[in-house]
Structure 1
Amino acid sequence: MPHHSDASPWVRRFAPLVPRGGPVLDVACGEGRHCRLFRDLGHPVTGIDRDIADTRADGAELIGADMETDAGWPLDGRQFAGIIVTNYLWRPLLPAIRAALAAGGVLIYETFAHGNEAFGPPRNPDFLLASGELLQACSDLTIVAYEHGIRDGRAVIQRICAVNGPGPFALS
């Protein structure tokens, strides 16, 4: 199996918690690095982004949609065993993302936080998480792991892994 060194270490760390064979959604999938990771782990994968022209994820369902417009979330009613979000924040989508997480499903979220403006983009507070914001957004889930801090001396990030159901869970 490919090494997937381009996948986020945070996502790779918690990928085994996603129920085996369950569908996975990659929100703002970009070039498809996490679509490929989960596809290779045996999951049916859906990737969504504003522009999917550069997304490389053979075998994945790819949806081109601007989730920040009035059209909004195109996946109403669909449920996923895993939802991955990296380097993306659009607060109005948080309830839709949460609603799409199936019972027993795993949310793996990692993006920029306040303080990142000292390191580079994004600098707009609309795209930077406040301290504890992911914890608050996931308050009805079982928190497996949470971190907030400076990554590699280059960015301030906040990340969480949370499960829609009771714990505890076997950690690798």
Structure 2
Amino acid sequence: MKAKLFSGILAVLLLVTAVNAHALKYDSGNTTTLSAGQSYTFNFPSAKGNFNSAKFSFDVDQLSGASTKIGSSTLTSPASGQLFASNGSGLTYLFTTDFHLGKNVFKLNKFLPELNGNTAGLTLGLLMDRGSITFDSARLRGTVAPEPISMALMAAGMVGLPFARRLKKTIRA
């Protein structure tokens, strides 16, 4: 009974590891500063495999808000920008967001077809509305589902482990 429980737990852990091992990462590695009115594009090639989910992220190292003078006081609003996606000749507005220090993460699940085998890949654009940011390590991470046949073979092997151990004990006796 313990052997079956152990092999079941091991099978689940291997399945989870197999799915996570297919995570893809494209890293720009550049440190870039953008101020209001400036833009930057991130180009990601298409991936081998089929993405189930995709997230775009970059690390903001420094940021400063936009200051507006109202009478004798100064109002500071957070740094913000607009994200766009380009697939071929079309440009799609995604959203406007305020940035914060550290990792900024954005889900791109509606662009999975562009990431799944489109030869052009996906281009993301960032246009700063106000303030300025300094960022690096732009990444596109996606989880790719493993092949069903490979998963079935691995599951069959896990189920057979307790029987193989029992057969080995029988042969020795």
Q: Same fold (TM over 0.5)?
A: no
Superposition TM-score, scaled by structure 1 size: 0.25
What TM-score do the two structures reach when normalised by structure 2? 0.25
Greater share of helix: 2
Greater fraction of residues in strand? 2
